[in-house]
Amino acid sequence: MSSVVLVERVGGVAIVTLNRPDKLNALNQELLAALYGTWSDLDHDPTVLCAVLTGAGKAFAAGADIAAMSTMGTSEAKIFSDLGHTVLARMESAHFPILGAVNGFALGGGCEVALACDFLYASEAAKFGQPEVNLGVIPGFGGTQRLARRVGIARARELCMTGDMITADRALTMGLVNAVFPAGELLTQARSVAEKIASKGPLAIAQCKRVMQRGADVPLPVANELEAQGFSWLFGTTDQKEGMAAFLEKRPASFKGR
């Protein structure tokens, strides 16, 4: 693992920390490549059942590295954008949920990374925004698309076209984040939810993520068929037998992920 991305394991939960605090965790090629490697490694580990993504210092990620971008031409910019899209797609395809714990600035590329998380919690100090138009460009890591899917097209247009920065409370009202906590409680709260998810049937959690992800952009009948396939597939697993037996026997289930 690279020093710009730190990983701590607590049972089935992985705590992943963006670690360029002196640069407000700005996303350069090194950090993005390290983040891709981190998610790939964790996705190949069946003992990882949930992850929390946060940032070191006072930012989640203040954006893409503008100093690095300022000298790019069109071909370099396309390569950089493709890298960002690849990393965020890797997050969405992981077999485990990723909870974002947004502790400070999540702007530009940082907001886009947050949007690739399954859902978000924020500290009272968090700030969100897609300010790229202030620099004469647009979001390049999926912000114009994931933001609209999260908060609706009108609000996404407003944020992307004004470049405005919003508070955690405003993000909560919009539905961008699920809850807002005092800064000192954020990671504890996020870890608590991650541990709860990790205690459930891991195959069921993976199917839930997969079906909801793939069903989001297809017609409802197609999405419902994806659900029916995932639901029925789980009836061929040991975890389903254990989960239902435990319920009937009034005892905690012991899931094995098979």
Residues (pLDDT < 50) of the chain are 1
Nearest to 92 by CA among 145, 131, 132: 145
132 is catalytic: yes
CATH code of 202-248, in short, is 1.10.12
Q: What is the pLDDT of residue 2?
A: 66
pLDDT digits (tens, 9 = 90+) for 171-219: 999 999 999 999 999 999 999 999 999 999 999 999 999 999 999 889 9
List, as one string, the DSSP characters of 174-226.
HTSSSEEE-GGGHHHHHHHHHHHHHTS-HHHHHHHHHHHHHHTTS-HHHHHHH
Please tell me the pTM assigned to this model.
0.93
Q: What is the pLDDT of residue 214?
A: 92
CA-based angle 53:212:33, to the nearest 5? 35
Do 234 and 240 form a contact (C-beta atoms < 8 A)?
A: yes
The structural domains of the chain, with segments of one domain joined by +, span: 5-198, 202-248
Distance, in Å, from the CA atom of 27 to the CA atom of 238, rounded to the nearest integer, reads 42
> What is the CATH architecture assignment of 5-198?
Alpha-Beta Complex (3.90)
98 Cβ contact partners less than 8 Å away, ≥ 6 residues apart: 50, 51, 52, 53, 91, 116, 117, 118
Find the catalytic residue in 8, 76, 92, 112: 112
Do 108 and 130 form a contact (C-beta atoms < 8 A)?
A: yes
Q: What is the pLDDT of residue 66?
A: 87
Amino acid occupying residue 131: P
Q: Do domains 5-198 and 202-248 have the same CATH topology?
A: no
pLDDT digits (tens, 9 = 90+) for 24-35: 999 999 999 999
- Strand-strand pairing, 127-129 and 165-167: antiparallel
Find the catalytic residue in 76, 92, 124, 132: 132
